[in-house]
Structure 1
């Protein structure tokens, strides 16, 4: 069985972070492992508290994984402190990790900055050069390039700049009123648009975490970058189309929409 590792924060409500990553990896047929960068107290209405791991503990988590069950792919999500980012970069280099997908969680859907300027610089200088794929949304791509993105052509140019600077593939995610549901993959000097299905579902908590984890899962299984993105987009469309409706805010998706067997049946259906 192929193995995938998520390095990210914990979402106590289960819709995003390592919980979404683990569900996604399992649903996509790989063995999931997790290294927790932070604990969060959150639900569908927002985050009320964050408790970061220490660099020393994070280092021990990573050593425990890589010296025993070596992952075939690594997904990196929320890491908000410079010291933690440096530890991750050091350990990924030390163990020569492969198929690294970085979801640079810097700007919330609301537009709020989630990471300090100093930590952004450490991300860019130490972690991005190790990545096989970066998956920024439009506000994050604007932070990385310093340019405003107002058209499809702007997305292509911004993705080209990021790809060439960090020598990796870039999936610039549409949305934020521009190219909604359409994502742009820029790889090795060429690009491809992935048109998503427009699904009228307000419950989109954890979509970024889920997409990057699905891509990592497919890379772990040996699919190409392009096919991994294609399969991940199909998976997230199915998870949204299942129309799960939980919580009072922007709720989670149904990560297990395609898993149906005797163990998933509810009592009244048996």
Structure 2
């Protein structure tokens, strides 16, 4: 028996096969509900009792464009990126301050950060909307502000977990070697917490991307995002193909972003520490 045939090697190989099988199974499980959407998206006619569409075409694309799906998609992307950037930055700053104990009343602050999850969204948004209207805050700014607050619990939690495993001695060593604050931030702290920042930004993006209530109430019809357009089209009759196409397009950006976050995290894990902080 060679070293490559040892029981330890067999155990690792079996575990790897099991993980890959589980990953493929999960991908199939989440992809199955998208199959009917894909069929509906390009079905010009799908009559009972046919198991598959009887006629395919691009009429759904024309309908989706007529509903305003393209500009709505652009607004959703911009809103998601803005909320992701701001919520991740604020969440990271709050998490660092709470982790290293420089905030008085840290427990109370932690509870306040988690409060948006505990409050009913509809009731909270109605109350906040009155304040925003009286303060003459523009609808776009109000929607971005409220969604950022709603995303903060997720970003703060992820970043606090990251800072809990963070070793400040790397920063101290860099300062001893003559690095300034910006150099320590850019070459030590940010590379070490980059995977956590990516995960936090992804969750914040999802909060803004999939929101309906905040955009509807606070936006007041001036901020029309993709979920609003999909809901409006779904309320009508004969728009099944257009609704399916827009729903399918709403899945694509989060999936691509998730794949990017996973690839980025895997790449960071494979880099040696000296290359991460270089």
Under TM normalisation by the shorter chain, which class is it? under 0.3
Q: Which has the higher relative contact order, 1 or 2, with Cα contacts under 8 A spaced 6 or more apart?
A: 2
Between Structure 1 and Structure 2, the one with more strand by share is 1
Which is greater in Rg?
2
In the superposition, the TM-score normalised over structure 2's length comes to 0.25
Between Structure 1 and Structure 2, the one with more helix by share is 2
